Structure 1
Amino acid sequence: MTASLARLRPHEPPPSADWQHRVARAFSRAAPRYARLAEAQRVMGKRLWARLPERASSVLDLGCGPGHWSARLACRYGEAGTVTGLDLAPGMLEVARRHHGDRVRWLCGDAAALPLPDAGLDLVVSNLALQWCPDLEEALGELRRVLRPGGRALINTLAPGTLEEVSRAWSRPGRPAALLAFRDATCHRRAARLAGFSRVEVEATTQRFHYPDLAAVMASIKGVGAQAARPGARLTRADLARAARRFEALREPEGLPVTYRLLTLELGT
């Protein structure tokens, strides 16, 4: 088993030159089983659905994965609207095309360099993709560029404290668990203002999920692609046993807890 999330500090370059390639490969490998394991992601995505505008003629699902929300957006906005699903991972897009067909336009691309024209979108929706962008200001600047005047971006991303139980279980003295260094609400507000958004709302909530055992916990993370292997990051049997003991100490009546600190951004041009 590999370490569960490559460490990345805000405002620092990727941990290696092939960061994007490794992230895309991890999510591509997870694509066939993503829908089965991504219940937490679907639950959190519902917060965006409740905020959708009544009408939109041109919509982008940024970090669309296997297309669950893209397909729902296409149904919601009907023939009058066009929906584009964009993801960094080719494997996710292959699954999306196979399951949802051509009612969505599927694009492979990077959030920091969107292959889209200026001011062409009414709405951007993004569920749990922004935390994978090394340069937050650059990614939000791209969203501002592609949105029309009066456009809106609805984004779910993750804040510090996310996966705190996982971090505690896997950490070793002098060697913290390899988790993304999630950015807080203040950082997102500042980046959105610098990107040129005139309306910036950030709501913080906590979502907790429970799993029967450590294998199910790790499947909910690694199994949906949220890991990027690094050289030397392989875990030993002793690591696995230590993590299992630590996680068992956290067990609640519902099962082993996993916490997500969710930030929901509503940005307007």
Structure 2
Amino acid sequence: MTMTKRITFAERYQSVLVPVIFEPWARELIRRARPQSGEHILDLACGTGVVTKEIAKQVPEPCRLSAADHSPDMLYVARSLARKAGFEVEWVEADAAVLPFADNSFDLAICQQALQFFPDKLGALRELRRVLKPGGRAVFCVQREMAVNPMLQAQAAALEAHVGAEAAAAVHAICSLPDSSELRDLFEAAGFRGIELESVSLELEHPDAAAFAAGAMGGMHTGDKLAGLPDGAIDRAVQAFLTGLGDYLEARSLRFPHVSNVVVATA
């Protein structure tokens, strides 16, 4: 009997969400961070390692790359991809508020779409400042509110209608730190200086809207909410998500704005 390999949420996240959302944001953050040859760079809450992969492709001379995430499943995928691509990274399983690095270790830290999920946001930023060298840079992006992110609006509405409030809450959590003043206050309280904060909108796209809708609903952070449903109920939820994206459909393809606050700060 042939055994079918179970696809993990981390693998689905990598195959569907990373190319559409996290690769474009990684390139945008790296453009702003301007990593230099020879720097020690931290990818904080690295997920499947998209930032480290982009830096390895863009920086012409070797730099030292470290990456930390609390999810062993995400790190497993990240390590596998790095081995295939042939670049070296120090992968570390760690809580962002308790980083296993010495003081003054890093020249640059990049963190995309994760600060809103940290249980101790201020503690994590203080810990990051500890491990950054004096004058080291931190570059973050944090999702803005649901009202300016129509893809997330459509996803939350579909989950609310077909799965329930708890499932919809997993999407609302992505937009749980939208206020620029609160973000600035967090970085100031952690001791960062020279804080620059800007609302940035990227135009994101996928050639197959139906494939994206199915993958996004089955990936982080909502896949576990659908896992116990019968196939018909999952199909209805995915179709409702796709219907909610109607204004952003172009034939079979999908194009939508994705809006975040970008923070650049100095330790």
Query: TM-score surpassing 0.5?
Result: yes
CA shift for structure 1 position 172? 4.1
Query: Is 1:171 the equivalent of 2:166?
Result: no
Q: 1:32 aligns with which of 11, 20, 32?
A: 11
Runs of 4+ in 1 over 6 A off after TM superposition: none
Which residue number corresponds to residue 196 of structure 2? 201
Evaluate the alpha carbon distance shift between residue 219 and residue 148 of structure 1 in structure 2; reply closer, same or farther with a 3 A threshold: same
| Residues 1-269 of structure 1: pairs in structure 2 closer than 5 A | 29-37=8-16, 38-39=18-19, 40-53=21-34, 55=36, 57-74=39-56, 76=59, 78-79=61-62, 81-101=63-83, 103-161=88-146, 162=149, 163-172=152-161, 175=165, 177-178=168-169, 179=171, 180=173, 181-184=175-178, 185-209=180-204, 212-213=208-209, 216-220=212-216, 222-223=218-219, 225-227=220-222, 229=224, 234-235=228-229, 237=232, 241=236, 244-245=239-240, 247-248=242-243, 250-252=245-247, 253-254=249-250, 255=253, 260-269=258-267
Evaluate the alpha carbon distance shift between residue 245 and residue 220 of structure 1 in structure 2; reply closer, same or farther with a 3 A threshold: closer
Per-residue CA distance 1:128-178 (angstroms, 9 max, x = gap) = 222221222122111111111111001122121141121223324994722
Q: Secondary structure at the match of 1:42?
A: helix
Evaluate the alpha carbon distance shift between residue 31 and residue 249 of structure 1 in structure 2; reply closer, same or farther with a 3 A threshold: closer
Q: Which amino acid aligns with 2:218?
A: K
Evaluate the alpha carbon distance shift between residue 60 and residue 242 of structure 1 in structure 2; reply closer, same or farther with a 3 A threshold: closer
1:94 & 1:243 partners in 2: Cα distance?
A: 28
CA shift for structure 1 position 47? 1.0
CA shift for structure 1 position 108? 0.9
Q: Structure 1: any 5+ residue segments left out of the alignment?
A: 1-27
Q: Secondary structure at the match of 1:51?
A: helix
Q: TM-score, normalised by structure 2?
A: 0.75
Q: Give the helix-richer structure, 1 or 2.
A: 2
Q: Which amino acid aligns with 1:115?
A: P
Per-residue CA distance 1:59-95 (angstroms, 9 max, x = gap) = 101122222321332451633x311011112122223
Evaluate the alpha carbon distance shift between residue 85 and residue 157 of structure 1 in structure 2; reply closer, same or farther with a 3 A threshold: same
Evaluate the alpha carbon distance shift between residue 35 and residue 190 of structure 1 in structure 2; reply closer, same or farther with a 3 A threshold: same
1:103 & 1:168 partners in 2: Cα distance?
A: 41
2:13 & 2:238 partners in 1: Cα distance?
A: 24
Evaluate the alpha carbon distance shift between residue 125 and residue 77 of structure 1 in structure 2; reply closer, same or farther with a 3 A threshold: farther
1:249 & 1:77 partners in 2: Cα distance?
A: 43
Identity within the alignment, %:
28
Evaluate the alpha carbon distance shift between residue 242 and residue 199 of structure 1 in structure 2; reply closer, same or farther with a 3 A threshold: same
Q: Which amino acid aligns with 1:49?
A: I
Q: Which moved more, 1:49-58 or 1:85-94?
A: 49-58
CA shift for structure 1 position 46? 1.4
Q: Secondary structure at the match of 1:60?
A: strand
1:246 & 1:107 partners in 2: Cα distance?
A: 35
Q: Secondary structure at the match of 2:123?
A: helix
Q: Which amino acid aligns with 1:83?
A: L
* Number of corresponding residues: 239
1:249 & 1:68 partners in 2: Cα distance?
A: 28
Q: Which amino acid aligns with 2:239?
A: A
Aligned residues: CA RMSD = 3.1
